[in-house]
Amino acid sequence: MSVRQNQLAVNRRKARRMTTPFKEFSPYEEGRNRSLRFDVNALADFEQETGMGFAQLMKQKAIFASARAMLWAGLKHEDRGISIDYVGDLLGEYITDEDVPPGEHTIDTILMVAFEAAIEQGALGLKKKDDAEAQTAAAVDETDPTAIDVKATESDPTPPHRQLP
């Protein structure tokens, strides 16, 4: 196995394990902590249930069926028996919770949590920059002629070089 193939295998294993904590339903399940995972299976489950992809969902106004399906798809990884109706019941409790200020628990807020999890996990092809990468990029002083060209080294497999004045 080549170094590139090995790295791809490691990345696939990491992607399978990547989850995002989801505590929004915890008060309605006796404190149970769950997590969302938006992998290929979750995306496929969502598409089969709704007849549309995540990208289409992002373009439309929030609707209950889509929110319920998105959460169900993201929660299935840890509980294969969870039903979409059960997720709908939890969603209903979340939205109608009288112990939170009005407008704090809405379809839009719960969808934002799910979208952020999907983006964080790279499910939509919009992965957020890693903090370390952002710090490294910010640390490079473009006015310093001896600074390493970080962007060039990311796409070029040859060792980094210093630019001379």
Segments of the chain assigned E as strands: 20-22, 34-36
Residue 4 inside a domain? The answer is: no
Q: Measure the N-to-C terminal CA separation of the chain; round to a whole number of Å.
A: 41
Kindly report which listed range (21-35, 61-75, 93-107, 139-153) carries the lowest average pLDDT score.
139-153
Residue 1 inside a domain? The answer is: no
In a shared domain, residues 114 and 139: no
Could you tell me the residue range of the domain that residue 141 belongs to?
129-165
In a shared domain, residues 135 and 116: no
pLDDT tier for residue 128 given thresholds of 50, 70 and 90: low
- Segment 124-153 shows an average pLDDT of 44
pLDDT tier for residue 134 given thresholds of 50, 70 and 90: very low
- Give the span between the Cα atoms of 71 and 25, in whole angstroms: 11
7 vs 164, more confident: 7
In a shared domain, residues 68 and 141: no
Residue 88 inside a domain? The answer is: yes
pLDDT value of position 162: 39
- Give the span between the Cα atoms of 161 and 148, in whole angstroms: 6
Domain count, the chain: 2
Is the pTM higher than 0.75? The answer reads no
In a shared domain, residues 89 and 19: yes
pLDDT value of position 145: 41
Residue 56 inside a domain? The answer is: yes
Residue 10 inside a domain? The answer is: no
Percent of the chain surpassing pLDDT 70: 67
Letter for the amino acid at 40?
Answer: V
3, pLDDT greater than 90: no
In a shared domain, residues 63 and 80: yes
In a shared domain, residues 160 and 105: no
In a shared domain, residues 28 and 52: yes
Residue 2 inside a domain? The answer is: no
Letter for the amino acid at 92?
Answer: G
Percent of the chain surpassing pLDDT 90: 39
pLDDT value of position 57: 79
- Give the span between the Cα atoms of 16 and 40, in whole angstroms: 9
How does pLDDT run across 108-123, given as a tens digit for each residue? 899 899 989 988 888 8
In a shared domain, residues 39 and 105: yes
- Give the span between the Cα atoms of 157 and 155, in whole angstroms: 6
In a shared domain, residues 108 and 165: no
